[in-house]
Amino acid sequence: MSKQRTLFSFFTKSPPPSSRGGKPGPEAVAAPASAKKDDISPRQAVKENGSGACKRPRTTAAASTSPFFTKGGNAARKEAASSHTAASSQACDFVPGDVVWTKLEGYPWWPSLVYNHPTANEYLRGKGKSLRIHVQFFDDPPTRGWVSVKYAKKYTGLDSKEVQRGGVYFSGKPEIQRAMVEADRAHQKSREKRLELAVCTEPSEPEDEDDNVEEDVEMEVGDQSTVSEEDKENKSGEDKENNGEEDKENNSEEEIRPRKRSSRVARTASVKAKRRRVVVESDSEAESSEDEFKPDHQEGSSDECSSGVDEKDISEPEIETDPESPVKTPFKRKRRAAAAPAPPMAKSTTISPPEAPRRPALLSTGTKSRLSAFSAPDTFECQAAGSTSGSPSPTAVWDHERLEWLKPGQRKDRKRQREGDPDYDGSTLYVPEDFLSKCTPGMRRWWELKSLMLDTVIFYKVGKFYELYHMDAVCAVGELGLTYMKGSWAHSGFPEIAFGRFSDALVQKGYKVGRVEQTETPDMMEARCRATAHPTKFDRVVRREVCRIITKGTQTYSVLDGNSSESCSNYLLCLKEAPACCSNDAVPGHCRSYGVCFVDTSMGKFHVGQFADDRHCSRLRMLVAHHVPVQVLVEKGNPSAETRKVLKGCLFSALQEALQAGTQFWDARKTLKVLAEEGYFSEGEREVLGSSLPPALRGMVSETDSLGLTPGEDWELALSALGACVFYLQRCLVDQELLSMGNFDVYVPVDVAGEGPAGGRIRSGQRLVLDGVTLTNLEVLRNGTTGSREGTLLEQLDRCCTYFGKRLLKQWLCAPLCDPAAIEDRLHAVEDLMAVPGPTAEMLELLKKVPDLERLLSRIHSLGSPLKSNDHPDSRAVLYEETTYSKKKIADFLSALEGFKVFQELLRVVEPSVAGFKSKLLKQILSLKGTGTDGLFPDLSAELQRWDTAFDQQKARNTGVITPKAGFDPDYDRALADIKETDADLQEYLEKQRKRLACRAVVYWGSGRNRFQLEVPESMADRHVPEEYELKSTKKGFKRYWTKAIERLLEAMSGAEERRDAALQDCMRRLFYNFDRNYKDWQAAVDCVAVLDVLLSLMYYSQSGEGSMCRPVVSYDADRTQPFLELKGSRHPCILKTFLGDFIPNDVVIGYKGAKDLENGHGDQQASCLLVTGPNMGGKSTLMRQVGLLVIMAQMGCYVPAESCKFSPVDRVFTRLGASDRIMSGESTFFVELSETSSILQHATHHSLVLLDELGRGTATYDGTAIASAVVKELAENTKCRTLFSTHYHSLVEDFSHSSAVSLGHMACMVENECDDPSQETITFLYKFIDGACPKSYGFNAARLANIPEEIIQKGHKKAEEFEKTTVSLRLFKEICSLFEDADVNLLKLQPVLKKIAKI
């Protein structure tokens, strides 16, 4: 297929420079990118943006140095270019051998190496603003290009701030990270050694093209009178007029015209004749408004509005075409010979000389009719012919903005309901029929689709491009950086191959994207029209259908969409609420029930559940914290105000959409009915199911209903939420590929799973509960400053090599273990891996080669699904890059096979060590099933060997076509056997006829349906031809015959060939389907390796953590052991160093002193509540977070940064840290504090860990103190859970100073020059936790550190002294009153109080 160019080269923001004459402006050096690119490699960038990378200007140098562009001229240009290198280098700070940061315009920064051009022996070109530098990008393989000097910056190494997160050069893309590692290695070498790294000598694509042009054409400078007579005859009237105008304005400038070499006159003339033709082979090709056709400007036709190229740029297609292409004769774009005249407002005033005259293209009436099938409506007025593409003027008003029925406030939905109506559907639009009747067929279809998807940006396929119209084009230009085409109606587009990049960019910004494909070829359209009695003009256009709607929560990352760069799951959550009194699962203390269904569409895993919740929506908050949704679907009018506040506050960045009750958000019965009717879970699709419903859903159906159409008790809300999910997936056209996987789990909240019998014992399988507030306050997954992973526990522990391992680590972090035996087993696994460093290192290297197999398995299932192949619009789509997509499918499949082969190698590496492992879990995941060790890893060797011999993998990777080997595909093998058998029968029949006619010259002749005619010499035919011979054709000297036997054999041969072709055409899908039949085994292997990856990550952290690391000791005896926690020399896992130096370790003991003889349940019992005081900024909050994080790490089965760690299991961690409001939910700071405290008091058990920081500061002092005192008393004396309670209420400390249930501790500090003047005090924070209470909070020290004015501090200090005297006086007055109430009062008892009064 001839090479096609992208739209970006057509939609220039300023007139393109002349390629063969005139003095070029800056545009000739580096044409601006028309769209912002994603992070792609420089190799792709050079191909897409050659003018900005390594494309050489072909216009100016030769004209001034030599009248000819000969090879000698090339040498002269090189000499001239090298002569000004020294002068140019003065404006450039870099020399060959320097490592620099460079970027092509619109692309990311990339580490590069400056070096001389391999053929020109120069590294600088141009001058002034057009100065460019030649670099080699650190890529695999290396690529090179010319980059503007303004986009070249000094490389400072991996440790510089610019490379870290938030820096200008930071990038999370693995390609750029690998390039930075290579650049860092080069940066440490000498300049001579660096230049040895410059190995890229291959010319880039634009350089190849330029060299070909220079070799084929010589340019001569002369007057207008030197133009040949032949060229004058071919010059059109319009060209003459334009040339005349240019002669007037540029009569002093030389003109350039092509002069053909005499040896190539005939060939050049034939090529020129070709380029005067326009060939249209298909309707879809004709309708493509980007590179096929553009009417003359004089006609004023609206067709030019949908055209991105002049007809002069169209050439006849090459003779050889790609057999896989839907269009057999694609057009080949020809490089422009002259620039269009600059508009009056253009910055550049350079006028290009006229190009060589050319005869205008001739179009037949039929061709014009088909080309106009997608022209603009007659009511759309185009701009003047001289206007250029690009952004409109600031005062421009697009045609769609003039439509009254489209303006805000005037819109109606499909049912003609206005925007103010309660049932108004904002996703649809009413389009008047009289408007549609004026539209062209293509545009009418667009408006029909837009009326159904008003909230969706439609990528509308026209030929080889996706085009965007009207409001969609405005969106694309603003968000994607595309450029407008000419005309008063908004219109833009891009090539088919760029769909993944542009669609993902819009989806990540919160838009819906609809992909509309051509599902008909022109031949199919013609056949349809012939079969129609009276076809209209609207019938004479290829059919287009919506093939996919993509939203942020429904991304599946198909071959068109590209791969995901994120490891985390993006969930689509469907939620339905009902009052607890209306549901059967009502629980005391719970006032509402929720039905939920959430799915990760990239893996096809559904979670369905129903649960009761309290007034604070604690379980709902925990759900959205553990499984963060990016899109939420609710029923209109269903969620309560409290639930809406939770969704708005916790998921402020998620897309939220309300569905119509009944029709869109189905009830439980309709959900079950649709699941049964659609046949998503039929046995033909997944035999292992053995039933019409997956096991998880089967338990939600009433046991009395054999048909499975009646919801079970307490599952109506869950099934209704599932119904909404199914409806939305149907709308997005991904329901078949996802639901047919049958991958369903019952969602049970973590705290519900941990609810045990009376007595509150830790149960086997129970999990540590971490709600959303705790995850946020402890910064387990995201930090509170930027919302990123930086500084979180997840970042510290995540050393996983695989994406599925990273996802499992996050699950373990959100729900650590509670069972002491399970915790010990994981710790044994970490120790076992530490004991075998050799195999461990090999396993880590092997895991780095494994792709994201979970998502690949889902993608392979989608590609092999027979449901999708039968009636999905994508199966009918006409794709022009089908070969590319086929190669991508095969590459993904082979990548999955390679990943599973790595698994086999991994088992081989670790096999000798498995027998010595103490961990039962580690033995299970590394042992094969059926080996007698309770192994969980499936034996994949036979399957992998089978797939290795199924087809030629390298050939399939290169061609995109799979040809199965013998024995793999029964249908294909049967068809080949029948062909071979029929061919043998035909040869046998031929031999019989030769003997019968006694002539060896009889042979078969013919092709296609006329094959196997017996060709008999005429002399023999006249004498010996039997009667059954039927004459079919003749040629001089021969006659050709058929017989009934030949017809029968030909029919058998044709049928076998059709079966062979059909099997081959469907071979890839059936191959993927056969692979997917063993999905359970493939997924089981992935699950085992995910566990191994997480254990290796924990092992890596346990070994490489700074400072002392210890193995936690967990002890639990429900009958004798009281909850306790003992940390010695513990450090915060996420703060390795402070701004003052190394982190200071601390001891924390709650529940026991010394924790001696814990196995026997003995020891010195200590208070379970620890009251923490200390100066402001002394480290109290850090200490509390540290304790919470260490408990989480210990119960995950990881070593902790401490000298020793002993504890009994914690069933739930509660936190009330920091001060913040929830403005999106309408909750004040103090209300948030009390809500979190209320949740603690309601749900805390004997085994919980409570971290409360400064409760009560959001209200009056007395109210806050009273509330804090009551909470401490409840937790210490009634709940008796392990509690750290920090406070600045010193009266609270005095109240509990003698309580046996509360112990005191404080963060130590050193005070120098303590006096009445706070400015003289010097406070040094020791960050050491010691016993006892801190006498003061030293708030004025914090005020001074915050630069509060000194006079304000002095006034505040005086006021504080007054408050302190008043408080002390009141306390002494109470003591005296209490003493006088005693009948035995005497002077001896009063003396201490009197002394205190005297001091005052």
Query: Is the pLDDT assigned to residue 559 strictly greater than 60?
Result: yes
Q: Is 83 helix (H, G, I), strand (E, B) or coil?
A: helix
pLDDT at 1141: 65
Given a contact cutoff of 8 angstroms between Cβ atoms, the answer to whether 892 and 856 are in contact is: yes
Q: Where are the beta strands (DSSP E) in 342-484?
A: 456-462, 465-469
User: Does 383 or 1184 have the greater pLDDT score?
Assistant: 1184
Q: What angle do CA 1196, 1197, 1198 make, to 5 degrees?
A: 95
Q: What is the DSSP string of 1298-1365?
A: T-TTEEEEEEEEEEES-SS-GGG-EEEEEEEEEES--S---HHHHHHHTT--HHHHHHHHHHHHHHHH
What are the structure tokens assigned to 65, written together? 């140095």
pLDDT at 970: 85
Of 278-282, 672-676, 932-936, 975-979, which range is least confident?
A: 278-282
pLDDT at 1104: 83
pLDDT at 320: 36
pLDDT at 808: 95
What are the structure tokens assigned to 1218, written together? 């920091």
Residue 330 Ramachandran class (φ > 0 left, ψ -120 to 50 alpha, else beta):
beta
Given a contact cutoff of 8 angstroms between Cβ atoms, the answer to whether 20 and 59 are in contact is: yes
Distance spanning both ends of the chain, measured CA to CA:
99
pLDDT at 351: 34
Mean of the pLDDT values across residues 1179-1183? 89
Mean of the pLDDT values across residues 436-456? 94
Given a contact cutoff of 8 angstroms between Cβ atoms, the answer to whether 1207 and 1125 are in contact is: yes
pLDDT at 393: 53
Among the listed residues 164, 167, 119, the one whose alpha carbon sits nearest the alpha carbon of residue 144: 119
**Number of CB atoms found within 10 A of residue 270's CB:** 10
User: Does 1097 or 1330 have the greater pLDDT score?
Assistant: 1097
Highest mean pLDDT among 595-609, 1064-1078, 1275-1289, 1290-1304: 595-609
Q: Whole-model pTM? A: 0.71
Mean of the pLDDT values across residues 1172-1190? 89
Query: Is the pLDDT assigned to residue 1400 strictly greater than 70?
Result: no
Per-residue burial over 827-860, b if 16 or more Cβ lie within 10 Å, else e, is bbbbbbbeebeebbebbbebbeebbbbbbbbbbb
Alpha-carbon span 694 to 1080, nearest angstrom: 13
Query: Is the pLDDT assigned to residue 385 strictly greater than 50?
Result: no
pLDDT at 867: 77
pLDDT at 1128: 94
Of 833-837, 1073-1077, 1290-1294, which range is least confident?
A: 1290-1294
Strands 1164-1165 and 1152-1153: antiparallel
Give the position of tokens 């306050």.
777
Cis peptide before 141 (omega within 30 of 0): yes
- State the DSSP H helix or E strand holding residue 316, giving kind and residue range, or none if neither: none
User: Does 283 or 1132 have the greater pLDDT score?
Assistant: 1132
pLDDT band at 1350 (very low <50, low <70, confident <90, very high): confident
Tens of pLDDT, residues 706-736: 888 899 888 999 999 999 999 999 999 999 9
Query: Is the pLDDT assigned to residue 38 strictly greater than 70?
Result: no
Query: Is the pLDDT assigned to residue 1276 strictly greater than 60?
Result: yes
Alpha-carbon span 960 to 105, nearest angstrom: 33
Long-range contacts of 706-713 (CB under 8 A, 24+ apart): 707/676, 708/672, 708/676, 709/669, 709/672, 709/673, 709/676, 710/669, 710/672, 711/668, 711/669, 711/672, 713/584
Mean of the pLDDT values across residues 680-706? 73
Query: Is the pLDDT assigned to residue 1207 strictly greater than 80?
Result: yes
Return the percent helix, strand and coil in the chain, to nearest 5: 45, 15, 40
Residue type, 1054: S
Query: Is the pLDDT assigned to residue 573 strictly greater than 60?
Result: yes
Highest mean pLDDT among 514-518, 559-563, 695-699: 514-518
pLDDT at 1022: 73
pLDDT at 912: 92
Name beta bridge partners: 704: none
pLDDT at 653: 87
Q: Where are the beta strands (DSSP E) in 662-707?
A: none
pLDDT at 175: 84
pLDDT at 34: 35
Tens of pLDDT, residues 777-818: 999 999 888 888 888 999 999 999 999 999 999 999 999 999
**What is the 8-class DSSP label of residue 67?**
S
Tens of pLDDT, residues 725-773: 999 999 999 999 999 999 999 999 988 865 544 445 777 778 999 998 8
Mean of the pLDDT values across residues 209-228? 37
Alpha-carbon span 547 to 810, nearest angstrom: 34
Tens of pLDDT, residues 277-296: 333 333 333 333 333 333 33
User: Does 1247 or 256 have the greater pLDDT score?
Assistant: 1247
Tens of pLDDT, residues 475-492: 999 999 999 998 889 999
Alpha-carbon span 119 to 141, nearest angstrom: 19
Alpha-carbon span 1192 to 1182, nearest angstrom: 15
Q: Is 458 helix (H, G, I), strand (E, B) or coil?
A: strand
Query: Is the pLDDT assigned to residue 968 strictly greater than 60?
Result: yes
Given a contact cutoff of 8 angstroms between Cβ atoms, the answer to whether 441 and 284 are in contact is: no
pLDDT at 1094: 96
Q: What angle do CA 574, 579, 584 make, to 5 degrees?
A: 95
pLDDT at 687: 42
pLDDT at 327: 33
> Average model confidence (pLDDT) for the chain?
77
- State the DSSP H helix or E strand holding residue 417, giving kind and residue range, or none if neither: none
